[in-house]
Amino acid sequence: MTMNLHDEEKFILDQVLSARHDTEFLKTQARELRLKINQAEQREAACEQAFADFMLGNGLTQTQVDEFSITLGKSTSVDVTDIDSVPEKYIRTKITKEVNKALIKAEGLSADGNNWLKYSEKNTITIKHKDA
């Protein structure tokens, strides 16, 4: 059986429409999955903060729950409010201009007198399974 031009066009169009349908379906699934991941990450952060608050409130820096070891720590992140005010020493250029936060943090640069710099701290929780 041979296909005429119209049949070939219809066959190709069906393939294109099917592929577009598959693409849209997968994009929808990906959006839904990203939303679920975001919600799970927010829940995880809230639970970790609650655990950190519990540990801080009870004067704990480390505890053991069943086979899990939990350690309370603190992480410090560098935030820059005005990249154009940052001294050149703390700038590294890739494709775009960005602040070398690792260097600022490593040098322990004070935010006092540097109105372009602020530090923010958050509590961190490290959970290790005894088999890990």
Q: What is the pLDDT of residues 46-61, one digit of tens each?
A: 998 899 999 999 999 9
pLDDT tens digits for range 97-128: 888 999 999 998 888 888 899 888 888 767 67
The rounded mean pLDDT for the chain is 88
CB 65 within 8 A of CB 127: no
Whole-structure pTM value: 0.51
Gap between the Cα atoms of 22 and 107, Å rounded: 52
